[in-house]
């Protein structure tokens, strides 16, 4: 069975291809030459994941999943949340996003935060949702060179290192996206015989 991952991010694709059950071939939007922008106009992560999945499902008529991720900071009332990628402006500049967060938290002792990922899967006209989250703290300065986005300032609960100081394997074992993907994979593994 071919399963479309509604992303242009080849690193995400490669990571997930290695985890798929035998018999499921994962394709990205790049593989399918789909270049149209998808407007993520949802009010929350679930809505945006569904917008992406529904858009691609309507276009190709094949099983598809999409994800959306946000960083939710308690002292900022849950922001940036659904606006995480564009927090410092429409350019989606990760470094600028991190600097804006650190400036907003200057002098703040309350630095609790959580990363949350929602995955929307559409299979045989049915929609399924899978969620993963990880609690942690926002550090006072960026550390590490791995990962992407807010990883240099996010220290997961019970850890001393930021996500950006961990290897991909270490991060995936405990990350929000890793947890959501594991739930997706459990579902695909348990239903593969019925859906193929």
Q: What are phi and psi of 147, to 5 degrees?
A: 70, -155
How many angstroms separate the Cα of 18 from the Cα of each of 22, 24, 125? 10, 11, 26
CB-based contact 106:160 (threshold 8 Å): no
Question: Kindly report the CA angle at 193 between 188 and 195, in degrees rounded to 5?
Answer: 70
Instruction: Decide if 39 is catalytic.
Output: no
Q: Where are the alpha helices (DSSP H) in the chain?
A: 10-17, 45-60, 94-104, 168-174, 176-195
End-to-end CA distance of the chain: 6
Residue linked to tokens 């992560």: 45
Longest dimension (CA), the chain: 55
Among 68, 93, 125, 151, the one annotated catalytic: 68
Kindly list the catalytic residues: 68
């Amino acid at each position: 069975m071919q399963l479309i991952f509604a992303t242009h991010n080849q690193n995400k694709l490669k990571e997930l291809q290695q985890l798929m059950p035998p018999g499921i071939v994962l394709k990205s939007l790049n593989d399918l030459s789909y270049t149209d922008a998808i407007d993520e106009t949802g009010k929350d992560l679930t809505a945006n994941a569904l917008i992406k999945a529904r858009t691609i499902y309507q276009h190709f008529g094949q099983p598809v999943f999409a994800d959306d991720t946000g960083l939710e900071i308690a002292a900022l009332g849950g922001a940036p949340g659904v606006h995480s990628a564009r927090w410092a402006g429409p350019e989606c500049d990760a470094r600028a996003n991190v600097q804006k967060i650190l400036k907003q938290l200057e002098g703040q002792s309350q630095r609790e935060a959580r990363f949350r990922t929602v995955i929307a899967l559409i299979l045989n006209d049915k929609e399924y949702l899978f969620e993963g989250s990880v609690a942690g703290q926002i550090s006072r300065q960026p550390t590490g060179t791995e990962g992407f986005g807010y990883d240099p300032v996010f220290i997961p609960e019970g850890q001393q290192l930021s996500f950006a100081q961990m290897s991909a394997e270490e991060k995936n074992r405990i990350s929000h996206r890793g947890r959501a993907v594991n739930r997706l994979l459990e579902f695909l593994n348990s239903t593969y015989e019925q859906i193929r």
